[in-house]
A and B are shown apart, each in its own frame.
Chain A
Amino acid sequence: MEFINNNLLMLILFTPLLGMTAVMLAPNNKGTIARIAFAFSLIPLLLTLYLWANYDFVAGGFQFEVNARWYPSVNAGFHLGVDGLSVPMVLLANLLVPLCILASFNVDRIRGFMALFFILQVGTLGVFLSLDLLLFFAFYEVGLVPMYFLINQWGSPKGKRELSRGRIVPAREYASFKFMIYTMAAGLGLLLAIQLIGITQGTFDLPTLYATWPTSNETFLNFASASTVKTVAFWAFFVAFAIKVPLFPFHTWLPDAHTEAPTAGSMILAGVLLKLGAYGFLRLVIPLFPEQSAAAAPIIALLGMLSIILAAYSAYGQTDFKRLVAYSSVNHMGFVVLGLAVVAWAAGNAVDPTTLALAGAGAVIQMFNHGLSAAAMFFLVGVVYERAHTRNLDELGGGIWQYAPIYGGMLIFSSMASLGLPGLNGFVGEFAIVRGSWPIFTFYTALSMIGLFMTGAYVLKGIRKVLHGPINPHWADHNMEMNVREIAVMAPLLVLMLLIGVWPASIANMINYAIVHLFG
């Protein structure tokens, strides 16, 4: 127990590699590999629950810290630690991975798939756990690789995409390439800015940087003043994370990636990877660049608002069920950004602490919630696609509830959660954000309400097209109902949606403390 307490974060971070090794060594049998993978994916989850239980959120701050030698010549250490922001994110990631694995028992080349999934898990956890800027970046980037291959290799095989000069390529290649290059290019500016910080401050240690970097005012470059350099660095950070969130107008990779990704890939992408962007804002951008953040807060709010409205309209316009859900992700993440804008604003302006706490905590809760509901939605899309081999809403034609009542029930439940029905989790986050941002960005918040309205519209459109309406006799001879394994994937998600909806304090307390501790 002593050992676990001392090395808890290390264990959480690296036990997925255990799973990967097990999968690589497992006998060549699909079912066995899948079961082994699932079993091993539970280890990090259990450890995370232990972490959740033992994290002292009242005391706040970074706990369970580990600081090992890693890269001495640039003064970057292997510094891990968790606070109230990261614990829910770690939990989310480690909760979704077993579910994703459970959802993927039928993929071909399962060994590679599972191995990549575990690597992806390490990458994501690394981001949430790092307290070193360079380490953060390293994990942030490295997560791209498995995701790239998941889309590129296990993505939907059918799609075609026409490029310039009339060349036709498989859509999954196009999408994965776009995903990779977008994120890498964004990472580049981030990397350069990180280098600049490292070289001027002589360290990458985040707690140290929190203290030194925002106040350091020396001239960094001869041709530019300190504030210019910082502003440029701020925007480099901003763009990198905005792409990841994704924030309008940097979101175009997302629908492509989601459409082509395999179900579990979409689940983890929407459920966890998008959160990396928002987490980056909270962990890095706002604490490191408080002045610049405050100055840019209106722009952030504006972009958040645009994301909400435009993505909602786009979602409404989709005929592909999965694209619809993908745009809904952009829409929901827009709310997160709106909340972040308030936190950013508070970094440089006096703000009522309740407002700040509401907006900040709301944003984090919304991240968590969206993780649950997006994963659920993508899974449900995957379920119907696996049976009907189409995601086209018109082809699906409706009336599926008739054939698959459990599926229908779950879809409606998750849709309602995603829509923000009071009593379910979505409402908690969105309400807190809207309440928090209203006093500061009244106009943008008001406009966002229009977006909320459209959200209702597209969710209902989806439900109507799939479940209701005239019965499509085509599906009569298909078995559209979910099997036990699939129900097992959905069950924890549904339970949590309900739990957070009716008892928000279960998660909100911890986050509240963290927000106040960090930004208050």
Chain B
Amino acid sequence: MDFPILSVITFLPGVVGLALLAFPEDKKELIRWTSLIAAIVCMVLSIIVYFSYDIELGGYQFEDRFDWIPAVGISYIVAVDGLSLPMVLLTGIVMVTGVLISWGIEDRPREFFALLFFLAMGVWGVFVAQDMFTLFFFYEVAVFPMYLMIAMWGWKKTREYAAMKLTLFLVVGSLFALIGALAMYSASGLGTFDMFIIQEQAEFTREFQITWFPFVFIGFIVLAGMFPFHNWSPVGHVAAPTAVSMFHAGVLMKLGAYAALRVGVVLLPEGAKFWLPYVVVLAFVNVVYGSLIAMTRKDLKYMIGYSSVSHMGLVVLGIATMNEIGLTGAGLQMFSHGAMTALFFSCIGMVYDRAHTRMIPELGGVMKKLPMVGVAFIIGGLVSMGMPLFSGFVAELPIFMGAWRAGVQGPDFIANYYAWIAIISALAIVITAAYIIRAVSAVFFGPIPEKIEHELTPIRWQDRTAIVILLVSLLALGFYPAWMDTVIKTGVDSVMAVLGA
């Protein structure tokens, strides 16, 4: 048997989390270093998985399984395909940077890092799970550390409210998705939660698919910040401590989109074909409305929070196009947006830790004191506004092209509005450019307000390392997308085989 690399990636964080709890509380440096090393190990493993995936072969690889609760057909199955692979990598990146960024946490760091690792375990688990039960299991594992981390280390003013709101939204979504998944299990008559088998053998009737697709899809897509279920997300971002915001926007929101695609679209393709043209409208609202709200925000975190909503709308739009190119774009956007928001939130965190304010009008001239943060934020902004040669463009282009293709080749009633949606959604890019430019010039340039002038102490080496890691991943994708889009395409191919288009 091969080295079970995916299982190791998944469970190592869990083991580390438990081990951390056994450390003495006051050995803070030891706890931090242990976390960092463990996170680096996980990241290296995920990089290894990413680059040893055989693109020629495609499909699901590194499979690893055992019968978990055979009496009801529950198995533990992990494997990666082209769609989950970038997400596994992204989680590794965000994990390491998250640990680095959280170096300065002085209040109960042991618990903080342990929870961060539990969260990572859940996230990785969802991305590699190929059994519906396993997927749900990890999905919910990922939820509760979020609650505690936001409530314990978050922004004092809103953390309790935000943490609760976030948790309830996510759990209600996942419960509905769970009911949908159980309905699939029961209707398939196969007595298994193995998604491979269900995908191949289940013969769901069209009516069944149309009835249950919304449960599964919407249940998951809540986590992706889909309008009108989005408003937990910016609130959660604002309240969360930096590393959690990074995880939340960077990875967790992708979890929703990924699971909606993997369970919803792939297992219920007829349902997807029926509903997704309506979902497009919601995605479209997401994109435009998110960016409009972002433009009005004065709090940097709110601004990025709403911009996340807008960008995740593009992911959903990409999925909803149901064609190869749009789905590829959705996959790329998940990675790009993940690294980008992680970068944004880490920058904002660094500024906030020093200036103790995130309000755009109260900041200024940060560039002079923290040049690296400024450059990183600007590059993040360029990614965000879809500037070509940055990853945002690489990701958004295929999404729009996918919408066009749906408009060009889709059935009549779809074609008539997909093209318009592509055209109008594109406006969001200009809006995004406007608010990003405004924020950059207000926060990083101009005079430094006296109040914060002496607060802006230099950033630590940990912060710098984190920024560099995120920048490298963003720029690499932007300049040379071929290293990722070919991988994603193999995953998309299998989705397209199911959708039969």
Contact = CB atoms under 8 A, between A and B. Distances in A.
Direct contact, A vs B (beta carbon within 8 Å): yes
Interface stretch (B338-346, B391-399, B453-461): B391-399
Contacts of B434: 181
A337 to B, nearest CB: 26
Nearest to B371: A112
Contacts of A72: 482, 485-486, 489
Contacts of A148: 437
A457 interface: no
Interface in A180-208: 180-181, 184-185, 188, 191-192, 195-196, 198-200
Contacts of A475: none
Contact of A223 (B382, B416, B480): B416
Interface stretch (B144-152, B260-268, B407-415): B407-415
A153 to B, nearest CB: 7
A152 interface: yes
A74 B394 CA distance: 10
B481 interface: yes
B404 interface: yes
Given A199-B404, A199-B405, A73 B441 contact: no
A142 interface: yes
B387 interface: yes
Contact of A138 (B389, B423, B429): B389
Contacts of B445: 152-153
Given A69-B482, A73-B398, A195-B401, A200 B430 contact: no
Nearest to A180: B437
A220 B388 contact: no
A157 to B, nearest CB: 11
Q: From DSSP, what is the main secondary structure of chain B's interface residues? A: helix
A368 interface: no
Contacts of B394: 71
Given A142-B389, A145-B387, A185-B430, A199 B401 contact: yes
A199 B430 contact: no
Contacts of A223: 415-416, 419
B388 A138 contact: yes
Interface string A115-154: 0000000000000000000100111111011001000110
In this complex, which of A173, A188, A222 has the most chain B Cβ atoms within 10 angstroms of its Cβ?
Answer: A222
B389 A139 contact: yes
A195 B385 CA distance: 17
B400 interface: yes
Interface residues of A, number: 36
Given A199-B408, A222-B416, A71 B433 contact: no
B75 interface: no
B428 to A, nearest CB: 10
Nearest to A137: B388
Q: From DSSP, what is the main secondary structure of chain A's interface residues? A: helix
B388 A142 contact: yes
B426 interface: yes
Contacts of B415: 221-223
Counting contact residues on chain B (CB < 8 A from A), the size range is 35 or more
A234 to B, nearest CB: 16
Interface string B431-454: 001100110010001000000000
Contacts of B498: none
Given A71-B481, A141-B387, A221 B407 contact: yes
Nearest to B484: A73
A73 B426 contact: no
B303 interface: no
A198 B486 CA distance: 18
B426 A188 contact: yes
A138 B412 contact: no
Given A153-B445, A223-B416, A71 B485 contact: yes
A50 interface: no
A212 to B, nearest CB: 15
Interface string B310-353: 00000000000000010010000000000000000000000000
Contacts of B419: 221, 223
A177 interface: yes
B95 interface: no
B21 interface: no
Contacts of B132: none
Contacts of A144: 387
A196 B404 contact: yes
Contacts of A453: none
A198 B412 CA distance: 21
B408 A192 contact: no
A221 B426 CA distance: 18
Given A180-B437, A188-B426, A222-B415, A198 B393 contact: no
Given A137-B388, A141-B388, A199-B405, A70 B482 contact: yes
Contacts of B8: none
B485 A192 contact: no
B331 to A, nearest CB: 9
A463 B396 CA distance: 51
A73 B325 contact: yes
Contact of B482 (A71, A145, A153, A220): A71
B280 interface: no
A188 B404 contact: no
A73 B437 contact: no
Given A184-B430, A222-B416, A70 B480 contact: yes
Contacts of B393: 138, 141
A407 to B, nearest CB: 34
B395 to A, nearest CB: 11
Contacts of B175: none
A140 B387 CA distance: 10
Nearest to A141: B388
Interface in A19-73: 69-73
Interface in B178-200: none
B397 A134 contact: yes
Given A71-B481, A192-B422, A223-B416, A139 B388 contact: yes
B398 A188 contact: no
Contacts of A195: 397, 400-401, 404, 422
Contacts of B388: 137-142
Contact of A152 (B387, B400, B407, B441): B441
Contacts of B422: 192, 195
Contacts of B407: 221-222
Contact of A198 (B401, B423, B438): B401
A425 to B, nearest CB: 34
B19 interface: no
A147 to B, nearest CB: 13
Contacts of B404: 195-196, 199
A73 B488 contact: yes
A74 B437 contact: no
B400 to A, nearest CB: 5
Given A138-B388, A145-B387, A74 B397 contact: yes
B159 to A, nearest CB: 35
A126 to B, nearest CB: 9
Contacts of B438: 177
A71 B489 CA distance: 11
Interface in B80-99: none
A180 B437 CA distance: 9
B15 interface: no
25 contacts: A70-B481, A72-B486, A72-B489, A73-B325, A73-B481, A73-B486, A73-B488, A74-B485, A138-B388, A138-B393, A141-B393, A144-B387, A145-B387, A177-B438, A181-B430, A181-B433, A181-B434, A181-B437, A191-B426, A192-B400, A198-B401, A199-B404, A199-B408, A222-B412, A223-B415
Interface of B: 325, 328, 382, 385, 387-389, 393-394, 397-398, 400-401, 404-405, 407-408, 412, 415-416, 419, 422-423, 426-427, 429-430, 433-434, 437-438, 441, 445, 480-482, 485-486, 488-489
Given A173-B441, A188-B427, 4 more contacts: A72-B485, A73-B488, A184-B430, A192-B423
Lowest 3 CB-CB distances: which A-B pairs, in order? A138-B388, A73-B485, A222-B415
